[in-house]
Amino acid sequence: MESPGEGHQRTLPLDRNRELLKSAREEIYKTVGDISLPVYIWEPNADKTPPYPKSVAAFFFSSGWDNGQIAQFAPHCVYFASRGMMTMAFDYRITHRNRGGPLEAIADARSAMRWIRLNAVELGINPGKIVGIGGSGGAHAITSSAMLSGFDDPSDILDSSPAPNALALFNPVLDTSKKGFGLDRFPDAGVAKDANLIRAIRPGLPPMLIMHGTADRVVPFAGTYEFAKKSSKKKNFCRLIEFEGQGHGFFNFNLSFEMYEATLMAMDEFFVELGFLEPDPEAGLGKVD
């Protein structure tokens, strides 16, 4: 008996987010040995481009430093490009694709920020209005760029700052102790301690918006709550939005449009509040077809 599809070419299911990458231009922002790391860039339409250098939204996909897809935040990139920002989705080294881990991810995020600033004139962007956005391990990488030192790639031009001017984080890895996530993924406990962002809180950090599901079974919500509380006590702008009962990855477009919309609007309001975006009450949501 012939099984379904036997003898016929299978049509692979459409990866909506990956299809959206085709609407961006691709550049290589970093090369390490035989590994080339791309960035996908979306320009705002001419009628949405502001008459001054653009703000930048730089996205770093969710990962546990082992797996992840650069296309994850493509719907977010398309949306914020429609609002007048230049948006970028950065690849970075992870274990299962290009022999990476948490230290490589941190170094790549720092390189990415420097690449943006070194190319600011050519890109037509404001190097003082760069928002770093990430999920899970990607959130740790980009937040490390603002909070840690000593994790640079030796080939970087170190007189260019790797720190974003603001951060928007989804279920971020902020605690790399045994109470948090990822301790076993660092070379040793000492390095994990050095990379523990709760230990690195100090006054003068960039404004942060953190969105985390309280039922996250991967990255404990308790660590994020502790981080936000301690950061606020240091007089930093650190806004935590708790999503009651939501798990890890609740914000993804292909998982829940309702949660995608809620988190997208929280980001939009945050960017407007910071002066990185103009208010736009007519802004459409999720128009990614």
Q: Domain range for residue 181?
A: 16-274
Whether 130 is covered by a domain: the verdict is yes
Helices (runs of H) and strands (runs of E) counted in the chain = 9, 8
Tokens for 267, please give them.
């980001």
Whether 163 is covered by a domain: the verdict is yes
* pLDDT beyond 70 at 4: no
Tokens for 168, please give them.
């928007």
What is the reported pLDDT for 51? Answer: 87
121-179 pLDDT, tens per residue? 999 999 999 999 999 999 999 999 999 998 999 889 888 999 999 999 999 999 999 99
Highest mean pLDDT among 15-29, 229-243, 271-285: 229-243
Whether 284 is covered by a domain: the verdict is no
d(C-alpha 172, C-alpha 99), whole Å: 22
Report the sign of the C-alpha dihedral through residues 131, 135, 141, 146, in that order: positive
φ, ψ at 103 (rounded to 5°): -70, -40
d(C-alpha 1, C-alpha 148), whole Å: 62
Neighbouring C-beta atoms of residue 233, cutoff 10 Å: 11
* pLDDT beyond 80 at 57: yes
244-284 pLDDT, tens per residue? 999 999 999 888 899 999 999 999 999 999 999 999 766 54
What is the reported pLDDT for 69? Answer: 92
Neighbouring C-beta atoms of residue 204, cutoff 10 Å: 7
Whether 4 is covered by a domain: the verdict is no
Question: Model confidence at 19, in pLDDT bands (50, 70, 90)?
Answer: confident
Stronger pLDDT, 9 or 155, i.e. the higher one: 155
Question: What pTM, to 2 d.p., does this model score?
Answer: 0.91
What is the reported pLDDT for 288? Answer: 44
Q: What's the CATH code of the domain at 215?
A: 3.40.50.1820
Beta strand ranges found along the chain (DSSP E): 25-32, 35-42, 54-63, 86-90, 125-135, 166-170, 208-213, 238-243
Residue with token string 């292909």: 254
DSSP 13: P
What is the reported pLDDT for 283? Answer: 52
| Helix, strand, coil tally for the chain in percent (to 5) | 35, 20, 45
Question: Model confidence at 7, in pLDDT bands (50, 70, 90)?
Answer: very low
Buried b (16+ CB within 10 A) or exposed e, 259-275: bbebbbebbbebbeebe
* pLDDT beyond 90 at 8: no
φ, ψ at 46 (rounded to 5°): -55, -40
Is residue 140 within 8 Å of residue 197, measured between CB atoms? Answer: yes
Tokens for 224, please give them.
């994020």
Tell me the residue length of the chain. 289
Cα distances (angstroms) measured from residue 25 to each of 40, 147, 152, 185, 234? 6, 30, 27, 33, 40
d(C-alpha 267, C-alpha 261), whole Å: 10
Whether 202 is covered by a domain: the verdict is yes
What is the reported pLDDT for 1? Answer: 39
Stronger pLDDT, 10 or 25, i.e. the higher one: 25
Question: Model confidence at 31, in pLDDT bands (50, 70, 90)?
Answer: very high
Domain count, the chain: 1
Whether 144 is covered by a domain: the verdict is yes
Question: Model confidence at 6, in pLDDT bands (50, 70, 90)?
Answer: very low
What is the reported pLDDT for 121? Answer: 96
Task: Report the SS3 class of residue 63.
Answer: strand
What is the reported pLDDT for 282? Answer: 67
d(C-alpha 100, C-alpha 135), whole Å: 17
Residue with token string 């990255």: 219
Whether 182 is covered by a domain: the verdict is yes
* pLDDT beyond 90 at 71: yes
Tokens for 230, please give them.
């301690």
What is the CA 20 to chain-centroid distance, rounded?
A: 17
Whether 5 is covered by a domain: the verdict is no
